[in-house]
Structure 1
Amino acid sequence: MSSPRVAIIIYSMYGHIAKLAMAEKAGIEKAGGKADILQVPETLAKEVLDKMNAPAKSDFPIATPDDLPNYDAYLFGVPTRYGNFPAQWKAFWDATGQLWVAGSLAGKYAGMFVSTASLGACPHSPITGLSSFLSGYAHAFDLQNNLEEVHGGSPWGAGTIAGGTGARQPSELELECAKRQGTAFWNIVSKVKFD
């Protein structure tokens, strides 16, 4: 079995996330693994960055959406802006629509580390928001986009609509989505060695 390909993908304006990324990489290497550090493209003009007293960017390669399918697992380094992703990360994720529709990232392992301005800052919003980018229609696109009948579910997983009284039961389409999700889930976890 080959080693998983791990990407540490970051955005770092003031260097905090870049330093954490190097520590993450060191931890992976200490455990016997390897990882590449990539950074999402900057969206701010140099003049704006200069006014913000932002230091020069690290020399890490620039990540593109096309890079993502080449990796088995990711660690995402995200500084918070107003309790959420900064615009640079949002612009990067906005460019991954075709990967999302194809489910190219669904089922991959991911982790996240953050930087906040204070203890009162909200580091969990970017972490929970990340789940939507790592989902997609990998296994049930045809069913989820069926407009011939009302149904539950989403790219995040199977679902049903019970109705206000709970009288409606899962449809065949909803049950098929659940079966596909169960199969996909097993195909992922069956490859992992659990102690």
Structure 2
Amino acid sequence: MTKVLVLYCSSYGHIETMAGSIAEGARSAGADVTIKRVAETVPLDVAEKAHFKIKQDAPIATVAELADYDAIIVGTGTRFGRMSSQMASFLDQAGGLWERGALNGKVGAEFASTGTQHGGEETTLFSIITNLMYFGMIIVGLPYSHQGQMSSEEIVGGAPYGATTVAGADGSRQPSQIDLAGTFHQGEIVARTAAALGAARG
């Protein structure tokens, strides 16, 4: 069975919600899915004052375990148009995996959230893609088979590079049904792609 890791960083719960939806999509395509998060690097007192969502069900991931999966889907909120420092710090520790090519040929994918429609969703996705490509991973985005990302009737997330959501400047907007349909679809595609690559390798 194809093994998929959904690896995320979620300060306010938006990415956590999307991670669950992506996992559901991957499971619907027959994958064995694990959801984990990276460690919080912000001091607890600062995180509490900023109203971070401190309690989350997903266990903390280790860098070493990344090599155990056929596909890794990385999700994070944006920070000045790039991935969060928490996720960057985690991936920066993967030099040993990179050096021995442990992730070469595995499937990589990405999803993100921003506070505003023009708050850096695509650049954040690209910052993740850059890391995954350095690891030798095969990138899967969110194609226009997810038609919802083309809607102009409401605020929607989504890009050809990965699923996204707009959280609102105050974080009050939760991922919409269209956004979650995108994450579900991306999870499906990742699982099917990883399974097909596994079958091709014999």
Fold agreement, TM-score > 0.5:
yes
Instruction: Tell me the distance in 2 between the aligned counterparts of 1:137 and 1:111.
Output: 12
Alignment of 1:85-124 (within 5 A): 85-124=83-122
Report the CA distance between 1:133 and its aligned residue. Answer: 2.6
C-alpha deviation, 1:123, in angstroms = 1.3
Alpha-carbon deviations, 1:44-93, whole Å to 9, x = none? 11100011011223121111110100001011111111111111011101
**For structure 1, which runs of at least 5 residues remain unmatched after alignment?**
139-187
- Gaps of at least 5 residues in structure 2 are 137-196
Once the two structures are TM-superposed, the CA of residue 32 in structure 1 deviates from its matched residue by 2.5
RMSD: 2.2
Shift, 1:107, TM fit: 1.5
Partner of 2:75: 77
TM-score normalized by structure 2? 0.64
Aligned length in residues: 142
- Offset of residue 190 of structure 1: 8.0
Q: Which has the higher contact order (CA 8 A, sep 6+)?
A: 2
Query: Which amino acid in structure 1 is aligned with residue 72 of structure 2?
Result: Y
Q: Secondary structure at the match of 2:58?
A: coil
**Letter aligned with residue 94 of structure 2:** T
Distance 1:134 1:64 in 2: 16
Larger Rg: 1
Within 2, Cα distance between the matches of 1:53 and 1:113? 22
Contact 1:9 1:38 in 2 (8 A): yes
Q: TM-score, normalization: structure 1? A: 0.67
What SS is found at the alignment partner of 1:191? Answer: helix
- 1:13–1:55 Cα contact (<8 Å) kept: yes
What one-letter code is carried by the residue in structure 2 that aligns with 1:69? A
Given the superposition, is the C-alpha separation of residues 191 and 34 from structure 1 closer, same or farther in structure 2, using an over 3 Å criterion?
same
Q: Cα gap change, 1:137/1:18 in structure 2, threshold over 3 Å: closer, same or farther?
A: closer
Q: Is the Cα contact below 8 Å between 1:13 and 1:57 reproduced in 2? A: no
Give, in whole Å, the separation in 2 of the partners of 1:121 and 1:136: 25
Bigger proportion of residues as strand:
2
Q: 1:190 to 1:55 in 2, by over 3 A?
A: closer
- What's the CA shift string for 1:120-142, capped at 9, x where partnerless? 1111223222234334587xxxx
C-alpha distance in 2 between matches for 1:84 and 1:75: 16
